[in-house]
Structure 1
Amino acid sequence: MVVDVLTIGRSGVDAYPRQSGVTLEHVTTLSTFLGGSPANVAVAAARQGRSSAVITAVGDDAFGRFVRSELQRLGVAVTGVLTMPGARTSVTFCELFPPDHFPLHFYRDSPAPELRLTSADIDLTVVREAGVLWLTGPGFSQNSSREAHHAMIAARAGAPIVLDLDYRSAFWSSPQEARAAIGEVLADMDVVVGNEQECQVATGERDPEDCARALLDAGARLAVVKRGPHGALALSRDERVQLPALPCTVVNGLGAGDAFGGVLAHGLLAGWGLEHTLRRCVAAGAIVAAELACAPAMPTAGQIDEVLRLGYVPARAGHEERTTP
């Protein structure tokens, strides 16, 4: 099986409240969606017309079956989805405090199913032949998963690799541990992408441009800093592009970066110019930020065209309820 975009890492169930502006103890209604950043990125790439697959692991339970069925429904190949005996599929709850506060509450085995994957669980031929390999930082947080990721990097033999920094404190003992583990592989990455906090953790720098330059100095060909309401910055050896955010009414910002990532992978494969790619990435992120769901909300190319034509994301009425306790 040859795919355009191959991701590896987290998958699970997102349980998101239908009430905004309240903490979980006051939530009365939850909806469930496919979740996990690498799964979301695979969906986002599929929505751009790319063949995509995800390497991940789930438990032998109802949530694991949900993950498989949703991946398939949303156009992602599941041949790399392993059912891990004795493990439970991860579930993630969030709280909604737009525009920029969305606390996550992880309910996961320790280690989570995907972090138990070894190189023996992975078809390195599929890894070698994929158009783009998409890795995430948490994959380097456990020994077995780290070894599997290093095997995948070796199998690529110079073919494009993207590292999504995807820093989550729940996976690391400290930011310094994450920085050390990520630092070991930066020289092998063609593209490194992360939000401002993730880039700060990876580099020790605070200014977004200093972060991007540090990533380039470490060996990346392209560094992309997602800046949320401030847009995005992309830096290569000979080009700098900074774009503002596309206006939208934020409902849930958690999936915006994954939509950004799926379009970034698509743009790399399409050979687009950096500014064109970044503009469409920013638009995709804004579209998903204006929705409650992550994976099911990933936009098509036509939807991105439309919001770029308008210059903003139209608000959708009636899909989200604001309450107070």
Structure 2
Amino acid sequence: MMSGGGEVVCVTGASGYVASWLVKGLLHRGYTVKATVRDLRNRRGFAHLKALEGAKDRLHIFQANLTENGSFESIVDGCIAVFHTASPVVLSTTDPQGEVIEPAVKGTLNVLQSCSKAASVRRVIVTSSMVAVNYNRNYQGPDVVVDETWFSDPEYCRGNKRWYWLAKTLAEKAAWEYAQENKLNLVVLHPGFVIGPLLQPTLNTTSQLILNVLTGTQGFGDYQFVDVRDVARAHIQAFENPSAAGRYILVGTSITHSQLQHILHQLYPSLNLPTIGERNPTFQVSKQKAESLGIKFMPLEVSLKDTVESLMQQNFFKL
């Protein structure tokens, strides 16, 4: 699986945070990209994609609905790879089944079913999340190392009303079952808390949470950070590397909230953040499998600085 050469790939949910960087990377490597969005009438939502280098000649944007059967069939036909990033990121809802779980699970199966009908598709890369890995009753402590053998427990998610966690867990389970039954070449990526500069004009969930930290309105126990550019590169590597298989956790750094504050203070001494007591990280995360894919994670300080600078450049935040 070599890069570029005008070969055609598909990216679902292409206007999203991670997907935008993925489209940028794919165009840079010479691919022709079929990008799907929810609504072609919302031109502002994907204008940043059309402005990317190479987009004029090699980017084609289509409308597709996750829950509409067959919505992706004509789009993935002729593609050698499909990157399925589209999934609702909703952390609070009064309709978890309709707003989060069904679009995630049914949408994933809808895309995979379309891929299995397209003889051209060599591999499907699904974007999952760390929330489908570590949310269970397993003991977690500062010496525990979470790796790709871990799975979140659907009943534990349901019992704690972690609907996004549940949706990602069920969607991955459904994806593996379908891929095994239909002999589909599948790779699943599990990014942690994604940070880095924004290409899209709107605030995505993780950037909003970083903004809340900067303004002192929100604090967490600890974080498993990864740069959005590393996540995009990992997607491309997961396709181009012939030996890529199974699940890959994508986490560059695990730190506590107080450690995060310390780094932010070093980068921006004028920041006035509330004091939070020191504590140990909840767990560590293995990088071994991701690094075997050829991923070298960006330093956290670089990612954080680029995140803050991007938020300021787009007028979401002022020092």
Shorter-chain-normalised TM-score: which range? 0.3 to 0.5
Structure with more of its chain in strand, by fraction = 1
**Bigger-Rg structure (1/2):** 2
**TM-score with structure 1 setting the length:** 0.43
**TM-score with structure 2 setting the length:** 0.44
